[in-house]
Amino acid sequence: MTNQDLISIIVPVYNMARWLDRCIQSLTNQTYTTLEIILVDDGSTDNSLQLCKQYAKQDPRIIVINKENGGQGSARNSALDIAHGQYIGFVDPDDWIALDMYAYMLNLLQQEHADIVQIGWIETNTGIIPPTDISKEQKCYKNREALSLLIQSSNKLNTSVCNKLFNTQILKNLRFTEVRAYEDDEFVYKAVWRASKIITDNTPKYFYFIRGNSTMTAKFNLNKLALLTIQKNICDFIQENIPEYFNVQERNLCSKQFYILYNLIANKELDKQKTYRMQIEAALNRSYLTYMRNPQMGLNKIMLWIWKYTPYIIWSNILKLKFNRKR
């Protein structure tokens, strides 16, 4: 091992005092010890910052950044700006990891001369790891094949940054879009495109704690409008770099527009002036002819026609039926 084998682990922290001990201890007790642990307090109003500083006093590998609240993407970017590692990992502060996770991923990444390694995870809403019986499976992908999996929402490759280890070389000048949700998606798409080789291994070593009020599991709120910003950014990125996948990604964007439209209708109190609803409808209207010419649009074409040519009471109820059925 050399200094070039340093792994920088980035943890964005916002009001996570209740779970922070479990997370940080799983990092400081890693069997792989050549680590730089960057804890970014994103304007917490509980005692998260004090806990971070206490751990930094105990472990010289820990760096604490204190910044005004700007969301996860902003917090991660501030850490990326100062990270020294040859490799970058991300952990969310309410989750924790197996003690050999980074040793396992680094060995796999170096052994396979890969740029990204994705490990398996286990979801829990109790903090107790349930028993698993998983047959180990490893796969190797080139960037185009991996992007195809992302676009098709394959379960073989996901858009979380937390169960991955990245070679820093592919992350140069790559930063998260500073929105309040879904920022992982765009980042992973762009990182995968820069990678020459991506390895997936389904061995579960990341433990994802499901909280009812977390960013992604909380009831719909206006922060989740960021989904449309991120999907549009991905669409533009795909069109510029891998145009053969653009039609499928454009279909994904259209589907997300209808999904957000449904949620705004179902939660009228969040959009009393119908401002966001009208913005999405205007975007659908601008793209209507393009969408209808897209051979990959599928059933979205039917929904587009219904939306454009039937009264609100009809298409809004069809939207409710469509998305309620998926819940």
In this predicted model, what pLDDT tens digit does every residue of 12-25 receive, in sequence order? 999 999 999 999 99
Return the C-alpha torsion angle 310, 314, 319, 321, nearest 10: -140
pLDDT averaged over every residue in the chain:
94
- Residue 98 near residue 168 (C-beta atoms within 8 A): no
- Residue 77 near residue 137 (C-beta atoms within 8 A): no
Can you give the pLDDT at residue 144?
Answer: 95
The answer, yes or no, to whether residue 223 has pLDDT greater than 70, is yes
The answer, yes or no, to whether residue 72 has pLDDT greater than 60, is yes
Q: How many CB atoms lie within 10 A of CB 324?
A: 10
The answer, yes or no, to whether residue 130 has pLDDT greater than 90, is no
The answer, yes or no, to whether residue 218 has pLDDT greater than 90, is no
Can you give the pLDDT at residue 1?
Answer: 42
The model's pTM: 0.94
Average pLDDT for 119-146: 88
The answer, yes or no, to whether residue 129 has pLDDT greater than 90, is no
- In the chain, beta strands by DSSP E: 7-13, 35-42, 62-67, 87-90, 96-97, 116-124, 138-141, 164-167, 198-209
Average pLDDT for 224-245: 96
- pLDDT band at 77, cuts 50/70/90? very high
Whole-angstrom distance, CA of residue 177 vs CA of residue 89 = 18
Q: How many CB atoms lie within 10 A of CB 244?
A: 9
Q: Which two tokens stand for residue 256?
A: 């997300």
Whole-angstrom distance, CA of residue 14 vs CA of residue 39 = 10
The CA-atom distances, in angstroms, between 169 and each of 87, 194, 219, 262 are 8, 9, 37, 41
Can you give the pLDDT at residue 285?
Answer: 97
Q: How confident is the model over 237-246, as pLDDT tens digits?
A: 999 999 999 9
Can you give the pLDDT at residue 125?
Answer: 87
Average pLDDT for 117-136: 85
Average pLDDT for 99-123: 97
Name the percent of the chain lying above pLDDT 70: 96
